Structure 1
Amino acid sequence: MSRNLKVGISIGDINGIGLEVIIKTLSDSEIYKYCTPIVYGHTKVASFHRKAAGINEFVFQVINDAESAQAGKPNMINCWEEDVKIDLGVSNETGGKYALLSLQRATDDLVSRKIDALITAPINKHNIQSEDFKFPGHTEYIQERANGKDSLMFLISEDLKVGVVTGHVPVKDIVKGVTKEAIVSKLKLMNESLKKDFWVEKPKIAVLGLNPHAGDNGLLGSEELEIISPAIEEAFNEGILAFGPFPADGFFGNQSYAKFDAILAMYHDQGLIPFKAASFNRGINFTAGLDVVRTSPDHGTGYDIAGKNMASPTSFREALFLALHIVRQRREQEELMSNPLLFSKMSKDRD
């Protein structure tokens, strides 16, 4: 664990702010004390963004593969040969095409363990769709590529950790995805991640209701009584400290989340709106429940500010450091588990 970890970075939509926040993050020399970054894209595209944002004296070291990455430098793997027309702030087929080429090459190296973690810059979920990408987002794509049975979209900040049962699905389909089995599965993933990735010994998890006022005893919907409460009970009986269901508005409004280690929301906006309101530009999207580590900033492509030197690198930088933290936490735990005497001693010390 003493060596610098190799961190892969996909560039996202080339017409957005991805490369701007990447370059701003890697311009900080402190980064190289902790990792060796490898960006999957093309130096010409990166140079265009660097100049558009007015960033001077930054150069990528071109390498052919992750094994050739040089410590102490920002490395770039050119994922295509042709020149690319960049239209800053525009969503088009070109942006999606090259975002996918970057993501595919980076994910290849992630699942083959040539890199230790992957940080993904924002894609446009519409223009990236193709024969090779038929997914609602990064989370589902990474899950399939990593051969995961399930995964959890887990939003992380200093003050909040929020996961969702249903992720990138239309509102009209949310109820179909809120099943007892899905809730129990997400609770297990969240509980395990809190223990393994964040070293929370006995996580306390709050579960939100689906309907207004958590159904109000069946008056405003029966899902809480028939699905969510039984799922919580089953998880609790399996040793997971899950509580609820709580009405979402009051739960966030009175800051009840401070009493819990994490929150499981039923759908995307129920969890992400309060999370981003509290943690925007500092939050991180982590794909929990997989053998590989992938994080991303909690913002989108930022077309409206692309090329204007206005994009904050804070969330991207936090995503990079969280990925490093999780990799090291997992490896240290593996080392401890392989040494029963040391693990027993540490457990007694905690008690």
Structure 2
Amino acid sequence: MKTIPLRTTVIGSYPFPGWLEFAAANLDQFGPDDLAELQEDAVIAALHDQTSAGLDVITDGEQTRLDFNLSFYGYIQGIELESAPPRRFGPPAHDQRGKHPIVEALSAPKGLGAVDEFKRLQKLARGSATLKASVPGPYTLSGRLLPGAIYADRWAITEALLPLVQAELVALVEAGCIEITVDEPSMSCYAHKEDPERFVEIFNRTVAPIVGKCHLSTHLCFGNYKARAVGPRQYAPMFPAFLGFSADEIHVEMASREFAELEILTQIAEAGKIAAVGIIDVKSYYIETPDDVASRVRRCLQHAPAEQLAFAPDCGLSQTARWAAKRKLANMVAGVEIVRSAIR
């Protein structure tokens, strides 16, 4: 798949409209047709904001996912969903997201739901933007599941989830999806204390059947629940090992880290991949101006050629207020276009 220089994209998630959050908290008041309409309307809203901004690549905003992992867990048999996290009060942190026991061997006889999401996106999308699907990889997906008698540790859970994710990726390609992000932020968060080569091997086995059949990317960040990171925010422990990912594009979080380790873009480009740069800080309510963005793009061009650069927010936008997300995306596209026009 040929990509345009300095293309603009997103990771996957987008803020829920306020009315959707209300509806999600009161699902018992809606019938099945009401819920289907709610889902379509939410995706239309996310598409409107992304296309109005002028993005080259858009998603459905993950508007029909209750939670980044929980929605997928709902498709997997063998998980007992716990309703109460271990801590409910005090400053937000990752321990306010509950973990769930495994009660039988994991399976997903009806898939993981991403194919239905993509088909909805295909039906509702208009215009020339590329449509992208985002699916969590098996290591990240294993993070909120508890080891026990069936699976001894997180690695064993990951191995059980791997064929389920792999089957979903294959089904997405068969449904006509030409761009997929396999989202593995947990690998970034734990690369400092786990073997990064082991992560690469897991990732590559997961995506093996779809390599060369779509534009394949991965997203490396340090966590964003309530704008809180969960790992040391350094890419040094991951590279050069992560250059071995069987991916066309590697997305790195830069804006919230004041563009530290920007030289990694050179390594990614020299490995023959596209460096997708997180150029918008989703954890800040400072609205980057087009000139801010253009200046940052020029810095990136000192490390990689335009044909091997893409730009996106640092992470998914689900934890950012919608009014800010709309302005940030519009200014990101405008800033990139300033530079793109100058080098045409």
Give the TM-score taking structure 1 as reference length.
Answer: 0.31
Higher-Rg structure is: 1
Give the TM-score taking structure 2 as reference length.
Answer: 0.31
